[in-house]
Chains A and B, each alone.
Chain A
Amino acid sequence: NAGVTQTPKFRILKIGQSMTLQCTQDMNHNYMYWYRQDPGMGLKLIYYSVGAGITDKGEVPNGYNVSRSTTEDFPLRLELAAPSQTSVYFCASGVFNSPLHFGNGTRLTVT
């Protein structure tokens, strides 16, 4: 099993550009999450999904969108990138009340 795979690992965007962070899991997990990690702060939930076709906002959803058309994939879309979106992004998956499995992260810089 590959677990949770995130791409790309690094990306530099100019202000106003858009991009999609990819996340795929091969463990048939129904729960999937996107977090951002800023220096000195705990992980913050951006969006989450409890199954294919169902998504919901987390703590910091502004400037992001998600979709969950399949169990395996949970892409995160950034529209009109802003410097405040410079962060490390983690995708995670799991089943109810179980340990989460994290991807290796995407380091995004918006300049």
Chain B
Amino acid sequence: KNEVEQSPQNLTAQEGEFITINCSYSVGISALHWLQQHPGGGIVSLFMLSSGKKKHGRLIATINIQEKHSSLHITASHPRDSAVYICAVGESGGSNYKLTFGKGTLLTVNP
């Protein structure tokens, strides 16, 4: 079973700062997902990636398959970025498609 570790668990930043959230996993995967959950809210998918880097607006996700590590970066952070960010990995191989989730990183961006 894959173990997914996120760091830090909690992160407080000032508006405009550059944010990095890290995710490490223990065994090979088919893909890695970054999700966002606002307090009391639903969960939305930000990125799915299996290699390299993806960018969407101020968000950038990178993955290093050899090191089993991914990072989520937020440039020019804003209070509306305050949320829990969750890393999840998909099992490698087979037709069943199940994800293992990290515990999440709570980001608070102060104005």
10 closest Cβ pairs, A-B complex: A42-B101, A99-B45, A104-B42, A102-B43, A43-B101, A99-B48, A42-B103, A96-B97, A42-B102, A31-B97
- Within the complex, which residue of A41, A100, A101, A104 is in contact with B99, where a contact is CB–CB below 8 Å? A100
A101 to B42, CA, bound (A): 10
Q: How far is the CB of B7 from chain A (nearest CB, A)?
A: 14
Interface membership of A84, Cβ < 8 A: no
Total CB contacts across the A-B interface at under 8 A? 57
Contact B90 A97 (CB under 8 A): yes
Q: What residue in chain A is nearest B46 (Cβ atoms)?
A: A99
Contact B95 A100 (CB under 8 A): no
Considering only residues 53-111 of chain A, those with a C-beta below 8 Å from chain B are 56, 58, 90, 92, 94, 96-105
- Within the complex, which residue of B30, B35, B101 is in contact with A97, where a contact is CB–CB below 8 Å? B30
Q: What residue in chain B is nearest A99 (Cβ atoms)?
A: B45
Which residues in B have their C-beta under 8 angstroms from that of A35? 101
A12 to B30, CA, bound (A): 38
Knowing A97-B31, A102-B43, A102-B44, say if A43 contacts B86 (CB, 8 Å).
Answer: yes
Contact B33 A42 (CB under 8 A): no
Contact B45 A100 (CB under 8 A): yes
Knowing A40-B103, A42-B104, A105-B42, say if A96 contacts B48 (CB, 8 Å).
Answer: no
